[in-house]
Structure 1
């Protein structure tokens, strides 16, 4: 059965610079117990699967290249904002050995030289015929790995290649001139020293970028994941609660002050190994010294643009300012078609307002609502080192400041504009 929703915008649009995803399969055969997709309801725990129809993607890219735009997704494609291949499900799970839908998709993206980030835990793409396609396209490969001691990696990841195999795959890809990133997600709290060693090994395999994010614990009692995690890590939930982890959606998330020391430690190690480092935690994204969220895609992909008409973009443009204000210039790019059908209920904002105004006005109002929210979720106060000044500007929007004592790495700001 063809996968109808293979190409879509994600609800991370209010802060993500690459919010466009492609999934070649509607499900995943790997069994990572922390899987964010399953924890957040993105994919059911079922063996059923739908597959992309690559011809539909080719038709769409062809129409967009001819200026035939029929919706917000097409506008993102026309602007050449990168797609994330494997945004919800691994494009190289065992189905790919038979279906080859990912291979067909890669060939189409290669033919259009479309900027693409690939997310996978598998090593299949480091073999032919994938290598030749990747080497002649416009790709950044992100290989994900649980980061911590070997015992933790074995407990959390099931049915995936070993850490050593992924290192070898990174080496094979790098030797062909294909940029490779290691996505350390999740990091096991308390095992940062082991992660430092992993960064050093990654550098010997030609890895050019590291992104890092701590384990988010799924907490639904009916979840198979939490049952397995409780059995494998019996004290993990207690540890998180003692550290005042807060519930965000269906997950427990460690507080920013708890995560910051480990993240800065890993950042310093990556830089010492001549690699680019990306904070992948949402509340640290504004600290990255590049334009593309955590993935640094602007460092590695050609002829690509990035979505910055969102909360993160507004913040990053003002990180050197004494006072941060809500500022979305009229010249900033926003789709002329509505994006609201792509957002979930938590991200969508006021439905009544959305029904009465133009797409741009609706988008600006959504951002203002988040900016001025009394809660931290989604607004500037959610970001590490950003504080509410307790006053508003002439338009009634809150103003914020950057705490220079917390954000102590001025070098991070050198190439942000």
Structure 2
């Protein structure tokens, strides 16, 4: 019915920063190709990090990576900024993921992001078991040997198991002249941009990312001589002053009497800052470690020196 086309026309008319994520080739066909060429847009294609002979098993409803490369090429020829998200990367196929990145850079991609496989606990005996049979090896057992951790309902490789590849992927992206994005949550501060899986604000006009969160304050600390990550640094970053409760699960809402004068967003950050309430705190992110010090309000102070050293290499 043309609803998507009409929406894109509105975004074009207002020159609104837009990110489109897709696995399909529709953006490279008319009328979308000409429309996108007039927009302030990044089109991010995605593909699993897997050998091409196995792609139909993992991505049965796609036309293969060659089609993805053709789409990126067509868009790039029209001056449309493209990204490639390689996700999920199956352990053992890291070289294939890096080869995909090289192919994409050769046809004009401006952003690359990489993210390892996460396994929902309920799918181990169903979808993942079926994929293992098709791939010819036990995916879960290989991850277990490399080192796995539980993150919410999902199982994922440990940060120690991921780090060597993330380091290589970041280095390769820079050698190719492409912006790097880390899709794995604990490595997001390694990204060139502020976004989760890419560098949209670095490759399109007037794009801004919300930064009043753990990643934002960690990034702010990297510019400080002492590399200290302090809760009060969040006050220097924009965050909503009005309630965000309507957008949250009722169990996550914090009553005003428990906010200590903070907005509910900052109270939410404060509840998790010292760790213990969830897996997330500044120390969840690779290269950030807790110190024995706390501020006057009792918030722990963290140190991002290890991260700063890694990113300077």
TM superposition score normalised by structure 2 = 0.90
Offset of residue 127 of structure 1: 0.9
- Corresponding residue number in structure 2 for 1:333: 238
The answer to whether 1:322 aligns with 2:222 is no
Residue-by-residue CA offset, 1:46-95 (whole Å, 9 max, x unaligned): xxxxxxxxxxxxxxxxxxxxxxxxxxxxxxxxxxxxxxxxxxxxxxxxxx
250-259 or 220-229, which deviates more: 220-229
The answer to whether 1:388 aligns with 2:290 is yes
Higher relative contact order, chain-length normalized (CA < 8 Å, sep 6+): 1
Residue-by-residue CA offset, 1:332-375 (whole Å, 9 max, x unaligned): 322243223323467x3xx3535776996211111011111236
Q: Is the Cα contact below 8 Å between 1:309 and 1:328 reproduced in 2? A: no
- Corresponding residue number in structure 2 for 1:41: none
Within 5 Å, give how 1:15-414 maps onto structure 2.
Answer: 99-221=1-123, 225-233=127-135, 234-320=137-223, 321-328=226-233, 330=235, 332-344=237-249, 348=252, 351-354=253-256, 361-374=263-276, 377-404=279-306, 407-410=309-312
Offset of residue 402 of structure 1: 2.4
Q: Distance in 2 between matches of 1:390 and 1:305?
A: 34
Offset of residue 146 of structure 1: 0.5
287-296 or 106-115, which deviates more: 287-296
Q: 1:405 to 1:107 in 2, by over 3 A?
A: closer
Q: Distance in 2 between matches of 1:264 and 1:344?
A: 36
- Unaligned residue ranges in structure 1 (runs of 5+): 1-98, 412-417
Root-mean-square deviation (CA, aligned residues, Å) is: 2.5
Structure with greater proportional helix content: 2
Q: Distance in 2 between matches of 1:145 and 1:125?
A: 16
TM superposition score normalised by structure 1 = 0.69
- Unaligned residue ranges in structure 2 (runs of 5+): none
Q: Distance in 2 between matches of 1:103 and 1:355?
A: 47
Q: 1:217 to 1:303 in 2, by over 3 A?
A: same
Q: 1:106 to 1:361 in 2, by over 3 A?
A: same
Offset of residue 406 of structure 1: 8.7
Residue-by-residue CA offset, 1:140-167 (whole Å, 9 max, x unaligned): 0100010131134222101112100110
SS at match of 1:317: helix
Offset of residue 312 of structure 1: 1.1
130-139 or 385-394, which deviates more: 385-394
Q: Distance in 1 between matches of 2:307 and 2:220?
A: 20
356-365 or 280-289, which deviates more: 356-365
